[in-house]
């Protein structure tokens, strides 16, 4: 390197305690005026192109010594930075200049920032020949530590009232991009010789096997890195490295013990002036700042879609909240979204502090809001929804949060530049279900307590609310609230034993996958324990029965009841019945009606999730189960399923269609008010009930008005009007043999069932009074199936009510082979049974 008339002294690393008598100092903490030469951006400081953004010459946050503000310059092919500083040498006796400088990586190029300086006694006068501050590659395109540079003032200018120093930062040789250049703590004046020894300020953990030692001033770069100068209870470090002038990192081959009291001996370390540290023993408690437990750092706020017209800067940001107990060092943590990930730079965060993470290009705009960390290769947050994760260097999760457009609760908020805030950062779950848009007037609260904060305690343990099967191997257990994703190894057990494949949790659902298949329609005990909600409330150990249902098929589930003319304010409903001894899955089945051309119309799927009908159960499908239970309290313990909308079932009449999982017709039933009991005065609020699933749904005689003694409807439970499943064995069976058409108790009609040995018989069914007069013809020469039914409501052929008393059923049967059978049965119409 050449010798120059002006001597340049190069010292390593950052500024610390050195005694001086009088200096003029610029630490760049005051805000820059965004104006260029000949106007100053700071008092006595001029730049050829000063900007508010991260380009040309600007003020940067967190890039200075000890993360302070600093002056930054970015040379490019069309711009070389020029800084001009006004000095007053006449005020000092031994005038000197010193400042701290470093370079930082900018892109993938290899061009250094080349720095030189010159002097003039006039701002707009001729400057002396430029002198290199250091070699051309001193400020390479790499992330460097600060180093102290000292310039002796020219003797021929020391008595001038005003002198101007110009520092030029030029686009260096090479290819690609050029390094960024930072300056901090510029000083001009007199200072005394340093005669004070360095002191140990603090010792703390740096990683699981490293210590960070902080000293009171810059250290000698040779002695400070000699391992023999350090002793940790008889162990020397495997490496000692100087970091940022007054910081030393000691590395040990083995990990240190968390929470243990240690004693570190330090000796033979001088400062830059040659003052040696007195032999010192320092006691400390070791804590690993990189050992960050799950939820000790919380992603507390997100701004995925900022807006330029809002009060907050148009910059994406995330906010971290430290709710752990010890200081954390964030360097090496991984920030990721659904598409990419990046590594966080070094930063120390204390308990209870907030930290704003923002892209490097816009981080400066958020300086006024609190602690900020500029992140390179920022994972751009998706406006429509994303999943953001914070992990340690091993990929272990520290926190994770997901959001969607629904998280804002409406387009006004999702498109309005509102941040999403966590309601309670203490909750130990993925906070996706606890996100709310900010209610702060600025539409966000970076670096401060959230505007939607609610720390109300939750003292209730989660409850199991249900379960369903995704397929033959996967079971989902649902809970009453969101549960933690971490659990003990033996928290679940099957009886009989089933081998687990995997287990995971999402929101309030526990997903269980087994190696083989769950047996179909077999009762299995599932034992659950040690499951906690987000507040840490544990579920009490529970054992409950699970059964994997069979996919329902035609002939197993039937239409069973219909309310098409409800009372005012009450919903309509359709009831299904499971006529088997099996658990049946009907979620993918549908209800529909018929259009004017008789085609299936308004298909309504019962459920997007699982919907299971237990054996011999009744299920009411309605839009408002709660109201239905209020209107029919006897049915409040029945089975109900809420659907967003039913097909249209007009009061004037229509057709109910039941479709299977393949949208094939299972049954259809055409209804009208004519099917109601002829003596019913007001059909409003009265359902039609199916008499028998063994008879076709489209047979009008198979439907009757529900009994008044059962509230005129039985949603979700057994019908009031039905006949026994078992046939007595007689050719003709009447049930009941005594009935009251007024419905004072029991059925308002009677059912005449027949069962013959083969199809093809022709039958006539007539009712006579005891005087032998014909009262009603139920069937006249009808071709019969093997079995069937007719009903009689106690009226004559004119629809008039008959007097109580005895009546005769006369049945005449004949077949093509000439066989004839005549059967008589007695039926009694009673009054107030």
491: domain CATH number is 2.60.40.1220
In DSSP terms, which residues pair with 735 in a beta bridge? Answer: 751
Residue 607 within any structural domain of the chain? yes
Q: Does residue 103 sit in the same domain as residue 123?
A: yes
pLDDT digit string (tens) for 764-787? 999 999 878 899 999 898 878 777
| pLDDT at residue 421 is higher than 80 | yes
Q: Does residue 18 sit in the same domain as residue 151?
A: yes
Q: Does residue 556 sit in the same domain as residue 531?
A: no
Q: How many other C-beta atoms lie within 10 A of the C-beta of residue 300?
A: 24
Residue 474 within any structural domain of the chain? yes
Q: Does residue 43 sit in the same domain as residue 176?
A: yes
Contacts of 299 by beta carbon, 8 Å cutoff, 6+ apart: 318, 319, 320, 388, 390, 399, 400, 401, 422, 431
Q: Give the chain's domain count.
A: 6
Q: What is the 3-state secondary structure (H, E, C) of 783-826?
A: ECCCEEEEEECCECCCCCECCCEEEEEEEEEECCCCCEEEEEEE
Mean pLDDT of the chain: 89
Two tokens at 559? 């239409």
Q: Does residue 46 sit in the same domain as residue 79?
A: yes
Task: Out of 514, 546, 578, pick the residue that ends a domain.
Answer: 546
Q: How far is it, in rounded angstroms, from Cα 158 to Cα 514?
A: 85
Two tokens at 584? 């049946």
Q: Does residue 737 sit in the same domain as residue 690?
A: no
CATH of the domain at 310: 2.60.40.1260
Residue 360 within any structural domain of the chain? yes
Q: Does residue 172 sit in the same domain as residue 307?
A: no
| pLDDT at residue 567 is higher than 80 | yes
Q: Which domain holds residue 526?
A: 464-546
Q: Does residue 681 sit in the same domain as residue 581?
A: yes
Rounded alpha-carbon distances, angstroms, from residue 227 to 231, 266, 269, 280, 665: 8, 10, 11, 15, 85
Q: Does residue 145 sit in the same domain as residue 15?
A: yes
3-class secondary structure, 503: strand
Residue 456 within any structural domain of the chain? no
H helix or E strand, kind and range, residue 730? none
Max mean pLDDT range (429-433, 574-578, 725-729): 574-578
Q: How far is it, in rounded angstroms, from Cα 338 to Cα 320?
A: 19
Outline where 232-346 has alpha helix (H): none
The reply to whether the predicted model has a pTM over 0.85 is no
pLDDT digit string (tens) for 461-500? 888 888 889 899 999 999 888 888 777 667 899 999 999 9
Residue 2 within any structural domain of the chain? no
Q: Does residue 509 sit in the same domain as residue 623?
A: no
Task: Out of 722, 757, 781, pick the residue that ends a domain.
Answer: 722
Residue 245 within any structural domain of the chain? yes
Residue 53 within any structural domain of the chain? yes
Stretch 287-305: mean pLDDT: 95
Percent of the chain past pLDDT 70, that is, above it, reads 94
Rounded alpha-carbon distances, angstroms, from residue 11 to 169, 258, 481, 652, 833: 20, 37, 61, 97, 112
Q: What secondary structure does DSSP assign to 28-50, as a single string? A: S-SPPPS--TTS-SBTTEEESSB
Task: Out of 519, 546, 573, pick the residue that ends a domain.
Answer: 546
Cα angle 418-423-426, degrees, rounded to a multiple of 5 = 140
Residue 669 φ then ψ, to 5°:
-140, 120
- Per residue in 413-439, is it b (16+ CB within 10 Å) or e — as a string? bbeebbbbbbbbbebbbbbbebbbbbe
Q: Does residue 533 sit in the same domain as residue 560?
A: no
Q: What secondary structure does DSSP assign to 699-711, as a single string? A: -GGGEEEPPGGGT
Q: Does residue 173 sit in the same domain as residue 241?
A: no
Q: How far is it, in rounded angstroms, from Cα 137 to Cα 110?
A: 10
Residue 513 φ then ψ, to 5°:
-120, 130
Q: How far is it, in rounded angstroms, from Cα 669 to Cα 672?
A: 10
Residue 490 within any structural domain of the chain? yes
| pLDDT at residue 669 is higher than 80 | yes
Match 């909750």 to its residue by tokens. Answer: 427
Two tokens at 515? 């190696």
């Amino acid at each position: 390197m050449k010798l120059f008339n002006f001597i340049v002294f190069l010292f390593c690393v950052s500024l610390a305690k050195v005694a001086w008598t009088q200096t003029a100092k610029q630490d760049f903490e005051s805000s820059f005026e965004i104006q260029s030469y000949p106007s100053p951006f700071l008092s006595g400081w001029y730049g050829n192109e000063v900007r508010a953004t991260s380009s040309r010459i600007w003020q940067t946050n967190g890039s200075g010594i000890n993360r302070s503000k600093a002056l930054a310059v970015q040379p490019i092919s069309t711009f070389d930075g020029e800084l001009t500083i006004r000095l007053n040498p006449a005020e000092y006796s031994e005038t000197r200049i010193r400042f701290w400088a470093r370079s930082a990586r900018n892109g993938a190029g290899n061009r250094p920032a080349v720095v030189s300086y010159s002097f003039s006694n006039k701002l707009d006068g001729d400057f002396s020949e430029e002198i290199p501050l250091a070699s051309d590659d001193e400020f390479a395109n790499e992330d460097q530590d600060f180093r102290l540079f000292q310039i002796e003032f020219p003797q021929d200018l020391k008595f001038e009232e005003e002198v101007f120093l110009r520092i030029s930062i030029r686009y260096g040789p090479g290819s690609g991009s050029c390094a960024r250049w930072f300056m901090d703590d510029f000083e001009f004046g007199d200072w005394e010789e340093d005669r004070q020894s360095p002191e140990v300020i603090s010792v703390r953990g740096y990683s699981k096997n490293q210590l960070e030692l902080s000293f009171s001033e810059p250290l000698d770069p040779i002695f400070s890195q000699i391992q023999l100068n350090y002793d940790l209870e008889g162990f020397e470090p495997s490496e000692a490295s100087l970091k940022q002038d007054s910081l030393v990192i000691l590395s040990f081959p083995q990990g240190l013990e968390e929470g243990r009291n240690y004693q570190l001996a330090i000796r033979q370390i001088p400062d830059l002036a040659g003052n040696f540290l007195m032999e010192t023993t320092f006691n400390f408690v070791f804590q690993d700042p990189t050992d960050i437990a799950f939820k000790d750092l919380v992603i507390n706020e997100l701004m995925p879609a900022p807006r330029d017209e809002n009060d907050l800067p148009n910059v994406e940001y995330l906010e971290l909240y430290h709710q752990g107990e010890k200081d954390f060092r964030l360097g090496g943590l991984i920030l990721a979204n659904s598409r990419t990930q990046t590594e966080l730079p070094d930063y120390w965060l204390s308990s209870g502090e907030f930290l704003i993470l923002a892209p490097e290009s816009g981080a400066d705009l958020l300086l006024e809001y609190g602690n900020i960390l500029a992140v390179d290769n920022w994972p751009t947050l998706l406006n429509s929804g994303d999943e953001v994760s914070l992990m340690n260097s091993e990929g272990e999760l520290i926190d994770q949060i997901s959001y969607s457009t629904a998280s804002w609760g409406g387009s006004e908020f999702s498109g309005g530049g509102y941040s999403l805030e966590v309601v309670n950062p203490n909750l130990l779950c993925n906070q996706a279900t606890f996100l709310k848009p900010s209610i702060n007037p600025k539409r966000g609260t970076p670096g401060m307590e959230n505007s939607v904060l609610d720390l109300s305690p939750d003292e209730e343990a989660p409850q199991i609310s249900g379960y369903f099967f995704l397929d033959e191997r996967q079971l989902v257990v649902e809970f009453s609230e969101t549960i933690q994703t971490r659990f003990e190894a033996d928290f679940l057990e099957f009886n009989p034993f089933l081998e687990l494949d995997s287990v995971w949790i999402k929101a309030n659902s526990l997903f269980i996958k087994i190696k083989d298949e769950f047996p179909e329609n077999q009762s299995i005990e599932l034992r659950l324990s040690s499951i906690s909600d987000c507040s840490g409330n544990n579920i009490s150990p529970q054992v409950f029965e699970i059964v994997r249902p069979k996919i329902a098929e035609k002939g197993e589930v039937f239409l069973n009841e219909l309310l098409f003319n409800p009372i005012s304010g009450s919903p309509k409903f359709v009831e299904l019945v499971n006529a088997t001894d099996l658990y049946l899955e009907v979620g993918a089945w549908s209800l529909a009606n018929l259009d004017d051309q008789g085609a299936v119309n308004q298909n309504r799927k019962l459920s997007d999730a699982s919907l299971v009908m237990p054996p011999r159960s009744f299920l009411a499908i309605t839009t408002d189960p709660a109201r239905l239970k209020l209107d029919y309290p006897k049915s409040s313990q029945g089975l109900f399923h809420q659907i967003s909308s039913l097909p249209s079932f007009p009061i004037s009449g229509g057709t109910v269609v039941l479709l299977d999982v393949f949208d094939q017709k299972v049954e259809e039933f055409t209804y009208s008010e004519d099917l109601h009991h002829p003596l019913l005065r007001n059909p409003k609020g009265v359902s039609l009930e199916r008499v028998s699933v063994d008879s076709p749904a489209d047979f009008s005689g198979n439907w009757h008005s529900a009994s008044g003694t059962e509230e005129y409807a039985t949603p979700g439970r057994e019908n009031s009007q039905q006949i026994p499943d078992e046939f007595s064995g007689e050719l003709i069976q009447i049930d009941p043999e005594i009935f009251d058409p007024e419905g004072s108790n029991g059925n308002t009609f009677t059912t005449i069932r027949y069962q013959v040995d083969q199809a093809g018989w022709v039958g006539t069914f007539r009712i006579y009074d005891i005087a032998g007069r014909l009262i009603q013809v139920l069937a006249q020469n009808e071709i019969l199936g093997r079995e069937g039914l007719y009903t009689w409501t106690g009226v004559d052929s004119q629809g008039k009510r008959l007097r109580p008393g005895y009546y005769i059923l006369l049945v005449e049967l004949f077949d093509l082979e000439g066989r004839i059978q005549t059967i008589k049965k007695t039926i009694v119409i009673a009054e107030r049974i």
